[in-house]
Chain A
C-alpha cells in the first residue's frame, strides 16, 4: 500500500434535507500514515466517516477505499478495514471476548484466531472475560480498537478514539498507532484533541461546515500560518517602538518580557531577510538583542485561525 491512497474521495457530498453535512469533499489519505481528521463539533467528521463506511448514503460524488470503488466493492474493501464510529458500543451482557466473537463471526474465519492477539495488543487480556457492562469508557475504547484489529486491517478508522483514556492510556494509544503505521497500516483518526493529533499523526485534514479547509503534513500545515518570531532583548518597549514601523511587520505584541512579532510574508515564503532587517534596526537603535527565535505555530493555532476565518466569512 505504500505510496498509494488508502482513502480517496471526489466531490463527495452528503445532504440531510437542505442541510449539507459533507460538502464536495476531496480527501486524499496516503497509505501507511497516521492521518488526523480535525474539525469542530458538527463540522461533518462523523458524517464523512459514516459515508466512507457505507453506513450513510452519499447524495453525490465518488470514493475509493483501499483502491476499491465504493459502494460497488464495499464488501471486499471493508474486509480489511476496522472502524470505530462515534463511541464504541457493545452488548453489555456479554464479556469483552464474547463481543469480539460476535464481530469476528461476521468476518472471515481467521478473525476468530485473532481475538487473543487483539486483546493482548490493547492490554485487555486480564479483563476479557468480564461483562462489558462493567467496563470503564477507557476499556471500551480499547475493546473498540481490539474489534478493529480482528480485520487484520490495512485501514483503521477511529472516531475520537482517545475519549475516556487517561494520560497513560493516551501515551499507550499513541505508541500503538505508531506501531500500526510501522506495520504499513493506515490509521485515520478523527479527533478534537489537536495536541494529540499533532503528536500522533503525520498527515492531517481540517474540516469545517462539511468542507475540507486544508490537508497535508502536520508540519506543512503549521508552516502555512503566518511566521512569527520572539525577540528577547534588553528593552522590550523600545524594541517594540523600533520594530512597529517596519513595513514587513504585521503585528507586534509584548509577552512575558519579550516581543512577539508577526511577519508579513507569502505563505510558505522565507522570512530570513525580514528577521535580518529586524536585527539591524534594533542594533541601530542601541537595543541589546539576546535572541531572535522563530515561534512555532502549533496545529491548534492554525486550526483556530482557519476555522475562525470561515466563521467570519459565514
Chain B
C-alpha cells in the first residue's frame, strides 16, 4: 500500500456524486436542519420551546449525528469494499502484480479520507450550535465537546470499517447495506434486551460504544448497561474491527479475480 493507492481509492469514492451528496446530507445536513428548525421554533415561541443548544442539545445531537453518520459511513464503506469487484476492475488491479492485501488495505484510509472531513464538519455544526444557541442554558466545556467528538468519530469510523470488511467479503453493496442496517437498528437492540443471552450480550458492539459515551451525554435510559468495564468495551470493539478487516482481507486474497 502507498499514498498513491490511497489517493486512487479516494478518487474513486469522491467522484460518485450520489454517494457524496447523500453522505453530506446524513452527516451534516440533518443536524443543520434540525438545529435550524429548533432555533426558529425557539425564536417564535421562547416560552414553549427552549433554546436548542446547551449540554442537553449536545446530548441529543451527538446521538443523532452518530446515527446519521453511521448510515453515511455504511454507504461509503460498502462502496469502497465493492467498487473494484462490481466494476470488474479488480482483476486488472491484481494483474499489475500488486499484492491483494495491499489492494484491500488501501481501501480503508481512502474511505476514511472522504468520510472523516464530513463527520468532522457535522460535529463542528452541533458543537457550535450547542454553544452558540444555548441561551440561558449551561454550555458544554471544551473537554466535553472534544470527548463527544472522539466518541462520534469512533462510532462512525468503526461502522465504516465494519461495512468495508463485510462488503469485501460479500461482494454485493446492496446486500451488505441491508444486513448492516438490519443488524444495527433492529437485531442488535433486540438482542441487547434478550436477558436469556446473559453475559454473551457483552459482545454486542453498540453496547460497547454506549459504555464509552461520556457519562454526562448518556441519554438512553431504557438500554441496559451490559458492559461495566471500559477495557472490556474497548476489547469488544477491537475484536469486531479485527474480524471485519480479517474476513475482508481473506476474501480479497482468495477471490477469483
Write the residues of chain A forming the contact surface with B, with a CB cutoff of 8 angstroms: 50, 53-56, 74-79, 81, 83, 85, 88-94, 98-99, 101-107, 109, 112, 147, 151
Contact = CB atoms under 8 A, between A and B. Distances in A.
Contact of B12 (A76, A89, A102, A109): A102
A48 to B, nearest CB: 14
Interface residues of B, number: 26
Contacts of B200: none
A83 B93 CA distance: 10
Contacts of B97: 74-79, 81
15 contacts: A50-B91, A55-B94, A75-B98, A75-B99, A79-B97, A83-B92, A83-B95, A89-B88, A89-B92, A91-B89, A94-B12, A105-B8, A106-B103, A107-B98, A151-B96
Q: Which of B17, B83, B87: most chain A CB closer than 10 A?
A: B87
B89 A105 contact: no
B95 A85 contact: yes
Given A91-B87, A102-B89, A105-B4, A55 B11 contact: no
A77 B98 CA distance: 11
B95 A90 contact: no
B89 A78 contact: no
Q: Lowest 8 A-B CB distances belong to which pairs?
A: A78-B97, A89-B88, A105-B8, A105-B4, A75-B97, A106-B98, A55-B257, A106-B96
Given A91-B12, A101-B8, A109-B4, A54 B87 contact: no
Given A92-B87, A94-B15, A98-B11, A103 B257 contact: no
B19 to A, nearest CB: 9
A88 B96 CA distance: 14
Contact of A93 (B8, B16, B88, B99): B16
Contacts of A98: 11, 15
